[in-house]
Chain A
Amino acid sequence: MEPIDIGLWVSGGMLVLVLLGMRVAFAAALAGLVGLFLVFWSKRGFDPEQLGWAITVAAKTAGQVPHSKVASHELSLIPTFILIGYLAYYAGLTRALFEAAKRWIAWVPGGLAVSTVFATAGFAAVSGASVATAAVFARIGIPEMLKIGYNKQFAAGVVAAGGTLASLIPPSAILVIYAIIVEQDVGKLLLAGFVPGAFSAVIYALLIIGIAVIFKSVGPPVRGFTWRERFASLPAAMPILFVVVIIIFFVYNPFGEKAWGTPTEGGALGAFIVFLMALGRGMRWTELKSALVETAKLTVMIFTIIWGVLIYVRFLGFAELPDAFATWITSLHFSPWVILVCILLAYAVLGMFMDAIGMLLLTLPVVYPAVMALNGGEFVSAADSAFGMSGPMCAIWFGILVVKMAEFCLITPPIGLNCFVVAGVRDDLSVQDVFKGVMPFFLADAVTIALLVMFPAIVLWLPSLA
């Protein structure tokens, strides 16, 4: 058996384990361990006397990965981003945002749903995790919509879809993970997420307005707020601006001066500000403790997937699979655009069955080099490239596309994490209800992705300034 054959067999085995319901992190790590063992043993010609040696080397190689991959300065952004989200909840930011959005924009058709989308987008600017955002707004947004007679399923769909925005709009754990896997500048990627994230929110809003105009029953506009009431709602939502400004300024200073520090520092300072606010709003040790334990739990869940999948990726490295795939992709006689669209479609299908982070970690080590090769390599200039952008810009653009696909996979059945979370928070909603309500947003996401593919400038404008 050649290493590449081992790579294919073991990868297939892993998929089976995942489908059979083994926890994804451990299924990937087990595949990696067994794969490493086979690769080492094959190197000694499957000699029975070398069995012990192969097992030892595989265990020790795999056993390095958890510490070695996790002890990373850049990855420390992930727990920080998660903590911000939990603290923001205790700081009352969620309700304040929703209230402000309601008073300012609920007068449009489908008003409360549109307000919910923009409030989730605002909360996305302090929350690094889509799932957390959906969970929080399921508690706040859905009851208000139901009160004025919204369709239950549609209300749930709005929250599930709106929650996904937290992955594109920085801070974002998924963008950090992408940056780490592909070894690109974390700051530039976070910056690149802003415009497409806001863009996505606008498309959602347009879709809702369209639906509300056509089907009057969906949701009436909410009018009657005075300008005084509108402005009165702002101060409580203001702190979001602080956090956004800090994160932007620590990545890139729009006034052409030096930025204020590194993204890691910016994220942690943002958390600190929200922490102070939460203290000011009466958070005490009990609440802090539960925020910390919840943060630890979500963090360890994400990192277990990270190191588990990276054991598998380490095995792929020994099996030389990524190189082989990149060579194969570039040898195909299709237009690079066709191949790119096929890759995105493959993500849409895979995303139906997998969670977002696992999907990215599993596929990117193979797919990313292939896409870069397709564009003409890491150092290609915009003029010589297939997609009309330089190597580093292609890395950013593809990253945003992939993260948007990952957001999409959070709401597609049968495994749409956000829909499960919304159904979990609301006893009166089944998962099927949420999936039905979120259906229209597939259209919005498809439009968004198509526009991001056709007009890369939406993604690349901001990072090209930095």
Chain B
Amino acid sequence: MAGAAPVLEDGSLLSRLDRGLLRLERFFALLAGLAVLSLMFLAVRSVGGRVLFNAPLSGYVDWIMQLMPLIAILAVSFAQRDGTHIRMDLLVARLGGRALWLFELISVLLILFLMIFLLWGSWAHFVRSFDFAAPLWSRDSTIDIGLPIWPAKLIVPVAFFVLCLRLCVQAIGYGRAMVLGLDSPVAVPLVQDAAAQAAAEAETLSEKG
């Protein structure tokens, strides 16, 4: 199942790092959303130009291909922050306490391991398309109107780098929870049961207050 889950916040350094990173991630998500919106306007321009003026948008396909990494990858870390990326929490939902945090920690560390290699690989992919000596620094161009591709390729390692930072924050968050045996740690998405528990606690607190 999916599960955007609540992320608790407090005044600790880790939580401040979490929120600082979140600001960047939100900005990336908004950019991605605006890029989706621009798909719409590109189509309007393309069809309108063709039907009304026999002047279709030159390089329509090229522009879309340039926009897609922005739309599809830039916000990858934003979705990791609150656990939007799909998983099966059949097993995890049954765990609690230190066992749960251990599982989450291992899972996040595995993702971090993966992403470090993908960061390297996607950076290499960018570098192959980039050449300081060439016009527009381009060593790879789109098929139709010859746009340089390197900016679109650069988006991927940038997004992956932010995701690596996010994973570090989460690894620390889970690690801390495991060592200290916390019930509701900050800066990590909580499994729904734990979240409900946290919410219930918050309620009793406010009742008392």
Contact = CB atoms under 8 A, between A and B. Distances in A.
Interface of A: 17-26, 29-30, 33, 55, 58-64, 66-68, 70-73, 75-76, 79-80, 82-83, 131, 260-261, 264-265, 267-269, 271-272, 275, 289, 291-293, 295-297, 299-301, 303-307, 353-355, 358, 414-415, 417, 420
A300 B78 contact: yes
Nearest to B34: A292
A76 B111 contact: no
B65 A33 contact: no
Interface stretch (B8-16, B114-122, B171-179, B200-208): B114-122
B149 to A, nearest CB: 8
B30 A24 contact: no
B68 A23 contact: no
A292 B156 contact: no
For the residues of B in contact with A, the DSSP-based class is: helix
B44 A18 contact: no
B2 A272 contact: no
B152 interface: yes
Contacts of B86: 23-25, 301, 305, 355, 358
B47 interface: yes
A6 B42 CA distance: 45
A138 to B, nearest CB: 15
A272 B74 CA distance: 23
Contact of B117 (A22, A23, A33, A79): A33
Given A268-B40, A269-B43, A300-B72, A72 B65 contact: yes
Given A79-B72, A83-B36, A292-B30, A29 B118 contact: yes
B92 interface: yes
B43 A268 contact: yes
Given A21-B88, A21-B90, A292-B33, A61 B121 contact: yes
Given A21-B88, A63-B124, A293-B33, 17 more contacts: A21-B89, A21-B91, A21-B92, A33-B117, A63-B119, A66-B118, A66-B122, A268-B39, A268-B43, A269-B44, A271-B40, A293-B29, A297-B84, A300-B78, A301-B86, A304-B73, A415-B1
Contacts of A353: 88, 90
B121 A80 contact: no
- Contact-residue bracket for chain B: 35 or more
Contacts of A358: 86
Given A73-B61, A268-B42, A33 B114 contact: yes
Contacts of A299: 32, 36, 71-72, 75
B123 interface: yes
B72 A21 contact: no
Nearest to A261: B47
For the residues of A in contact with B, the DSSP-based class is: helix
Contact of A22 (B44, B76, B80, B107): B107
A132 B178 CA distance: 35
29 contacts: A21-B89, A24-B85, A29-B114, A30-B111, A30-B113, A55-B117, A58-B117, A59-B124, A61-B121, A63-B117, A63-B121, A63-B122, A70-B72, A73-B65, A75-B68, A261-B50, A289-B33, A292-B34, A293-B26, A293-B30, A293-B33, A295-B33, A296-B30, A296-B75, A301-B85, A355-B2, A414-B90, A415-B1, A415-B88
Contact of A76 (B3, B64, B119): B64
B72 A75 contact: yes
A353 B91 CA distance: 12
A72 B124 CA distance: 20
Contacts of A268: 39-40, 42-44
B43 to A, nearest CB: 3
